[in-house]
Each structure stands twice: as structure tokens, then as C-alpha cells.
Structure 1
Amino acid sequence: MIRIIFRRGLVIMSCWFITAYNIYGQSSKLLTIDACYQLAESNYPLIKQHALLDKTKEYSLTNAAKGYLPQINLSGQVSYQSDVTQVPISLPNVDIPSISKDQYKLYGEVSQPLTDLFTVKHQKELIYANTAVEEQKIEVELYKLKERINQFYFGILLIDAQLIQAEILKKDIRSGMNKNDVAIANGTALKSSADVLQAELLKADQRTIELKAIRKGYADMLSLFVNQPVDENTILEKPYITSLTPEINRPELKLFEIQKKTFDVQNKLIDTKMLPRFNLFFQGGYGRPALNMLNNNFDLYYIGGVRLTWNISSFYTQKQEKQILNLNQNALDVQKETFLFNTNLTLKQQNSEISKLEELIQTDQDIVLLRENITLSAQNQLAYGTITTNDYLTYTHAEDQAKQNLIVHKIQLLMAQYNFKTTSGN
């Protein structure tokens, strides 16, 4: 029985594709769901943010690298002081000059950091890490496009299948009209029964018009995302799922891992702040007095050496800064745990939906088989006048409804499977 149903399903699907080919013609354009994913990502405005991030990273790294270069400072000072240093002795025939209370100084200093090189290294690491975080955030947002593409893509697939079924319904009604004409010719049916069938055929035409209008709405939305024309001549290839993997491989997980790396770099920077700073320096200037305090004339001077600075106050905040960093890491772990919980919950719900639809499809196939036999028998009865046109239409609509249910459930199953695939990230 399963093999018979499977073979019948293949025949039905083959008929759908053959009919679709005849409807849309050889000039039709084929579009796949994977192509829609790629086109949507490449055309989404947010993708431009990657180039901006690259430029920002480039400028930030260039600025950070300036920390390797010697630092140059220019300073000047004019002062007047209430008193100056004096030699408290007097010697015969010796003129001890006195220093002026107005003093002038203009000097420049060149210093080359030594231990700050480690700080520059960690700053560069942090720039790389922060850029990677922002880029991954973009990937997370782009991944969400798949959910929207799924809605439009499978919506169009469902409409296309319903359009094909509408043509099959029209064919059944026309077949009934032919049988009814035979019954009218034999005097076993009233001429008004032909009007009933003609009215049903017009209703089927109206249904086709409505379905095409709905399809156009889906196609217009999909066209905006993929930046390509999607119209009545565009055929969407029906995708197939080989297997579903419950393992979660979403871009959000990679984002969490990258954010963890930024915490590691920040921790290094906190430790670096505690180190003493050594640098080489050279200072040269012009002023009064210069280095010789007993010379009250303007003079040039220079001084060079090694300088040590150590900001001891950094110890006051080190512990608190690391605690804050640790709290942020814990908060990130909670976010990841919450994401995994919600995603697993969604996957369980989607898996239940898939199982339900698979069972419904098996039942639908049995119902369609029975309804087809009933309609075929009703056509013969209509020709002999043993049933009315209303009876025939009742059987025809029941078969059509059974086929519609099968079509809807098959597309819903495929969409549920792709939603499962999108949710898991595989």
C-alpha cells in the first residue's frame, strides 16, 4: 500500500511540473531558494556596513600604531616669582650674579616609550576583536532574512500548486459538462443542468484570478529582497530536504564566542595598566636661566635619559574593573544559555509540526485515492442520468478539497522542514 501511494505521489508531482511547464512556457525563469538566500544577502542594504567596518578598523589600527612612534612635545613658560636663589656670602673681588625674578623657558621633548609597546599590542587586538563582533552582528541580522524568504518562497509554491489544482478542477468540470451533454441528448437530464456546471466553471475561473493576485503580492515582495524581477513567468524550484540535523549551528553562537575574546583582551589591558612606564627622552630648549642657575643670561640647554613613571592609583580600581569584566562575561553566558534554550524549544515545536504533517499527508493520499474513484464513478452516473449535476459537483468539490488538503500539507511540510533547518542553522 505504501509503495502504491508513493508511486501515485510521484505521478502527481510529475503532472504538476509538466502542467507548470505548459502554463509558463519555455521562456520561464527558474529560481531556487538557495539563490534567493544569496541574492537577498548581497542586496540587503546592511551588507554595505562591512565596507564601513573595514575602513574604521584600518583607521583605528593606524592610530594605535602611532603608539610605537616617538612622542614629541613643545612647551613654553613665562613666569615671575617673588624670590630667587641667592648665595648668602660675599667674597672680595668676586661678583656673584643674582638671578632675575622674571624667567623664560621654551623647550621641546622627544620621548620613546618602551613598556607602552605591550599596551599598543593589546589595543590592536581589541580593535580586531571589536570589529569581528560588529561584523558577526551583521551576519546575524542577514541570517534573519532566511525566515522572511521562506515565507514568500513557500507562499508562492503553495499558490502555484493551487493554480495547477484549479486547472485540474476545471478539467473535471468540463468532463462533467461533456457527460451532462450526453445525458441531455438522451433526455435523462435537464438543459438547465448545463448552466449549473457552466456557473461552477466560472467560479473556478474566479478562484484562479484570486490566486494569481495573491501570488503577485508574494512575488513583488520576494522581488524586492532578491533585487530581480519575479513575475508570473518565474518558476520557483521545489526544494528537497534530505535530512534534518537538530544540532544548533547558528551565527549567534559564533557571536558569543567572539565577544568572549574581547573580554580576554580587556583583561590584558587592565593588567597592562598596572605596569610601570619606562621611556627614553631628550629635551632641548632656550631660556633664562638655563641649566646653570648662576647664569642670568639666555642660553641653550639639553638633557636626556631614561624616565620611570608608575601610576600607583591604578591598583585602587583594578579589582573592581576585573569584577565588572567578570560580571559581563557571566551575563554573556546567560544570554547564550537563554538563546540555546529558546532555540531548542522552537526546534521541538517544529519537529512536532513536521511529524503531524507527515501523518496528515499519509491520510490525505488515501482520501484522494478514494475521492478520485468516487468522482470517476459519478461521471459515468451523470452520463446515464442517475445522479444530478449538483450531486456530481458535490463529489467533484470533495475530490478537489481532498487534493487541496494534500497540496497544502505537502507545502506546509516542506516549509516546516526548511524552518527547522533555518532555526538550527544547518
Structure 2
Amino acid sequence: MRSKALWIGLILIVFSPELYGQLSLTLDDCQNQAQVNYPLIKKRDLVERSKAYAIEKAAKGYLPQFIINAQATYQSAVTEIPIQMQGIEIPQLTKDQYKFYGELNQTIYDGGNIKQKIELHRSTSAIEEQSLSVALYQLKDRINQLFFSILMIEEQLNQNQLLMKDIQLGLDKVEAAVTNGTALEADLNVLKAELLKAAQHAVDLKANRTAYLEVLGLFLNKTLDASTKLIKPELPILPKTIQRPELALYDDQLTNIAVQEELINVRNRPRLDFFFQGGYGRPALNILKPRFDAYYIGGLRLSWNLGGLYTQKKEKAILEINRLAIGVEKETFLFNTHSQAKRESVTIRRYQDLLQSDNEIIALREKVKKTAVTQLEHGVITTNDYLREVNAEDQARLNKIIHEIQLLASQYDYLYITGDTY
């Protein structure tokens, strides 16, 4: 009866019901909540707002532009009319002149310059947003590692409980034999010590599980404790193509270079503006009236800055170098990613092969253990012999558990490497 009490006490301490509480989390839950709560996600709104402000600012180039100027000058000479006519006073300009005016300019044609600047802002923001997606995608790998580490510990805890049941079974047999005088007290103590050793291992596993849950809880912004239960995911269907967010980032960078090239082209085109200028000054438009007067002037203005034509070729050459560099980076990334996916495929096949033999090994070890139980009951083998067979079966089951979790983890690592969403 004492051994029964020992077993029940260990079960209550080590495998308390809090391990199987109400809170359950899937891998998808963890991934989604981690993405939402990760501090870097706040940058997405900042990028979007910055893009909106930049585009709004560039689009104002389509609106009429109004400037106000004022100037006062004194010049050493003025225009004079070298004619003198009797009875007629010819006005003379003063050397101090004043002008205050406002000018309105409305773009009619700018060669697409404003439109291309807006596209450049959109393209640059797309790169920033995709860079953020790449950074957030890397969070998936960290969540995977935590999630499957916890699953591994949970499976080991379950197997440890089965081991303790097998030891308790032997303990009951030996206890009955001791009572009948056919076994020694030392044999009973060996089994009790082994049971306590298994209980200690369970305590270590439980502590490790709690530590991993606390770290996972930081990513999810949740309090996860021993009552949290993680749901083992199903075996996924493995993709055959690479769909990583880095590829979209390379495409966005190439698009940005194309936009910059077009901006160079439109920047060197002529532009046509409508302008209207109205002001007050001395002299006004009529220099023969050297007094303060109001005036206005309006019309069309054609301008063409040819200075950019000197540097256009070099600027495009630099962009072409950048385009080739991005192509090399993309090619290198695909090479490394395919290489990682290939290695992970080999690992997946290895675990699949190991699992096929695990079941056979467990079946054989289970038969040997059952025989050992009968032999122990009849005193044919010692407690050490019995424990050896129990531990052998326990190790076989542990190997299968480890291989199952490792297979799952490897398959989800493969999904992460190839960029498949899950």
C-alpha cells in the first residue's frame, strides 16, 4: 500500500491538472498573434503615413503656385531720351526704382515630372513596406522553434508518465513478493529509487516547459503558464516553389530603378507654364510714366533646362549597375534558399525512414517488457533486469516521439524556407 501512496503522490505533484487547462493555442494562433504584437509592426503605419504625406506634397505641383516679391533698387544710370523739343517736357526716369508684385504660375505641361515623382514615392514606400514584411517574416522561425520545443517537452512528459506506470507495476509485483518472502527489500528499494528518479526528470521537464512558455508569451503579449496547451499541427503539404517575401523585395527594388530611369527622362524635357503677374511700382510697364502705378502681365512661359543632358548617360549607367547588383543578390538568395530546402528535404526523409522502424522496435520492446513483468513476478529475473527492459522500451518510445516532433519541425522549417504561408 505504501508504494501505491508513493505513486499517487508523485502523480499529483508532477502531473497536476494545470498542464491540461482551458487555454489552447495552435501554431497559426501563435504566428498571427506574434505578428500583431511584435513592436516592429508599428512601423507599418509610419511608412503608410509617410507615403501619403510625400505623395500629397508632390501632387501639389499641379496646383497654381503663387509667389510675392518686393524689391527696391538704385542704379547708376537710367534710360534717357536724347531729344529736346520746345514746349514738350520729356519725362526722366529716377535712379531709385521700386517694385512690389505677385506672380501666379500654373503648370500646363511638365513632361510627366510630377507624375513620375509621385511614382517614385510609391515605389520607395513599397520597398520600405516589403522590407518590413521580410523582417516580420523572420519572426516565424523564432515562433516555430519555441512552439516545437514546447511540444517536444510535452510529449516527453507524457512518455515519462508511462515510464512511471511501468515502474509502479514492477514495484507492485516486487512488493507482493517481499510480503511473501520470495524477494528482498533491496529489490523494492531499487524500484522506488528509479520511480523517484523518473519523477525528478518530470520536474525538470515541467520547469523547462514553463520557461519556454514564458518566452512564447512575451511574443504573443499573453501570460502563458503551465495551464496552456499547445495543439500539435497536422503534417503539412510541402510546396515545390520558392515564395519568400525577399523575392517581392527584389522586384520592388527593380521597379524603383525603372521609375528612377523614367524620372531622368522626364526631368530633361521642356515644360510649359501659364503665368500672371500683377504689381505696383515705379516705374510700371510704361517707363515714360516715372511714377508709382499698378500693372499686370500674363502669358505662357516655355523653359527647357539642358544641363541634365550632360549627366543623363552617367546617371543611367549607375542605375544599370544597381540593377545588375540586385539581380546578383536575387540569384544568390535563390541559390542559398534552394540549397537549404534541399538539405531540409533530406532531413525530412530521414525522420520518415526512422519512424517506420520506430514502430517495429517499440512492438518488439513491448513484448520483451511484458515477458519481463511475468518473469519478475515469478522471481526469474532481478529488478535490474526488469528495469533494463522497461528503460529499453521507454527509450524506443522516446525515440519515436522525438522523431515525430523533429519531422513536424523539419516540415514547418521547410515551409519557412520556401516561404509558404501557414
Question: Please, what TM-score do these two structures have when normalized by structure 2?
Answer: 0.92
- 1:35 lines up with 2:29 in the alignment: yes
Aligned to 1:74: 68
Aligned to 2:191: 197
Aligned to 1:400: 394
- 1:283 lines up with 2:272 in the alignment: no
Q: Aligned to 1:125, which of 103, 119, 122?
A: 119
Q: Which moved more, 1:272-281 or 1:22-31?
A: 22-31
Cα deviation digits, residues 352-409 of structure 1 (max 9, x gap):
1111111222222222222111111111111111211111111211211121111111
Q: Which moved more, 1:200-209 or 1:382-391?
A: 382-391
Cα deviation digits, residues 258-287 of structure 1 (max 9, x gap):
222222222221111111111011111111
- Give how far 1:25 is off: 7.6
- Give how far 1:324 is off: 1.3
Aligned to 1:7: none
Cα deviation digits, residues 12-44 of structure 1 (max 9, x gap):
xxxxxxxxx995587422211011111111111
Q: How does 1:324-339 map to 2 (within 5 A)?
A: 324-339=318-333
Distance in 2, Cα, partners of 1:359 & 1:418: 18
Q: Which moved more, 1:159-168 or 1:263-272?
A: 263-272
Cα deviation digits, residues 316-357 of structure 1 (max 9, x gap):
111111111111111111111111111101101111111111
User: Are the counterparts in 2 of residues 343 and 424 from structure 1 also a CA contact under 8 Å?
Assistant: yes
Cα deviation digits, residues 127-166 of structure 1 (max 9, x gap):
2222222111121111111101111110111001000000
Segments ≥4 residues shifted beyond 6 Å: none
- Give how far 1:423 is off: 0.8
RMSD: 1.7
Q: Which moved more, 1:178-187 or 1:415-424?
A: 178-187
Q: Equivalent residue of 2:112, what SS?
A: helix
Q: Which moved more, 1:231-240 or 1:413-422?
A: 231-240
Cα deviation digits, residues 299-329 of structure 1 (max 9, x gap):
1111111111110111011111111111111
User: Are the counterparts in 1 of residues 111 and 270 from structure 2 also a CA contact under 8 Å?
Assistant: no
- 1:251 lines up with 2:258 in the alignment: no
Distance in 2, Cα, partners of 1:352 & 1:23: 39
Q: Equivalent residue of 2:105, what SS?
A: strand
- 1:92 lines up with 2:59 in the alignment: no
- 1:383 lines up with 2:372 in the alignment: no
- Give how far 1:94 is off: 2.2
User: Are the counterparts in 1 of residues 20 and 229 from structure 2 also a CA contact under 8 Å?
Assistant: no
Distance in 2, Cα, partners of 1:176 & 1:214: 29
Distance in 2, Cα, partners of 1:213 & 1:34: 25
Distance in 2, Cα, partners of 1:231 & 1:167: 20
Q: Aligned to 1:409, which of 403, 410, 418?
A: 403
Q: 1:22 to 1:199 in 2, by over 3 A?
A: closer
Q: How does 1:142-291 map to 2 (within 5 A)?
A: 142-291=136-285
- Give how far 1:88 is off: 2.0
Amino acid at match of 1:377: T
User: Are the counterparts in 1 of residues 111 and 267 from structure 2 also a CA contact under 8 Å?
Assistant: no
User: Are the counterparts in 2 of residues 371 and 399 from structure 1 also a CA contact under 8 Å?
Assistant: yes
Distance in 1, Cα, partners of 2:189 & 2:57: 84
Aligned to 2:361: 367
- 1:299 lines up with 2:290 in the alignment: no
Q: 1:279 to 1:72 in 2, by over 3 A?
A: same
Q: Aligned to 2:344, which of 347, 350, 359?
A: 350
Distance in 1, Cα, partners of 2:78 & 2:179: 136
- Percent identity reads 47
User: Are the counterparts in 2 of residues 113 and 278 from structure 1 also a CA contact under 8 Å?
Assistant: yes
Distance in 2, Cα, partners of 1:69 & 1:389: 94
- Give how far 1:90 is off: 2.0
Q: Which moved more, 1:62-71 or 1:290-299?
A: 290-299
Q: Which moved more, 1:165-174 or 1:385-394?
A: 385-394
Q: Which moved more, 1:344-353 or 1:294-303?
A: 294-303
- 1:137 lines up with 2:131 in the alignment: yes
User: Are the counterparts in 1 of residues 19 and 226 from structure 2 also a CA contact under 8 Å?
Assistant: no
Amino acid at match of 2:105: S
User: Are the counterparts in 2 of residues 179 and 380 from structure 1 also a CA contact under 8 Å?
Assistant: no
Amino acid at match of 2:175: D
Distance in 2, Cα, partners of 1:97 & 1:145: 83
User: Are the counterparts in 2 of residues 183 and 382 from structure 1 also a CA contact under 8 Å?
Assistant: no
Aligned to 2:6: none
Distance in 1, Cα, partners of 2:20 & 2:335: 48
- 1:52 lines up with 2:46 in the alignment: yes
Tell me the number of residue pairs that the alignment of Structure 1 and Structure 2 aligns. Answer: 406
Amino acid at match of 1:181: E
Q: Which moved more, 1:408-417 or 1:57-66?
A: 57-66
User: Are the counterparts in 1 of residues 68 and 101 from structure 2 also a CA contact under 8 Å?
Assistant: yes
- Give how far 1:98 is off: 1.9
Q: Equivalent residue of 2:56, what SS?
A: helix
Q: Which moved more, 1:201-210 or 1:300-309?
A: 300-309
Distance in 2, Cα, partners of 1:25 & 1:109: 78
- Give how far 1:230 is off: 2.2
Structure 1: gaps (5+ residues): 1-20
User: Are the counterparts in 1 of residues 111 and 266 from structure 2 also a CA contact under 8 Å?
Assistant: no
Aligned to 1:11: none
User: Are the counterparts in 2 of residues 375 and 399 from structure 1 also a CA contact under 8 Å?
Assistant: yes
Cα deviation digits, residues 235-258 of structure 1 (max 9, x gap):
211111242113111111112222
User: Are the counterparts in 1 of residues 103 and 278 from structure 2 also a CA contact under 8 Å?
Assistant: yes
Structure 2: gaps (5+ residues): 1-14
Aligned to 2:11: none
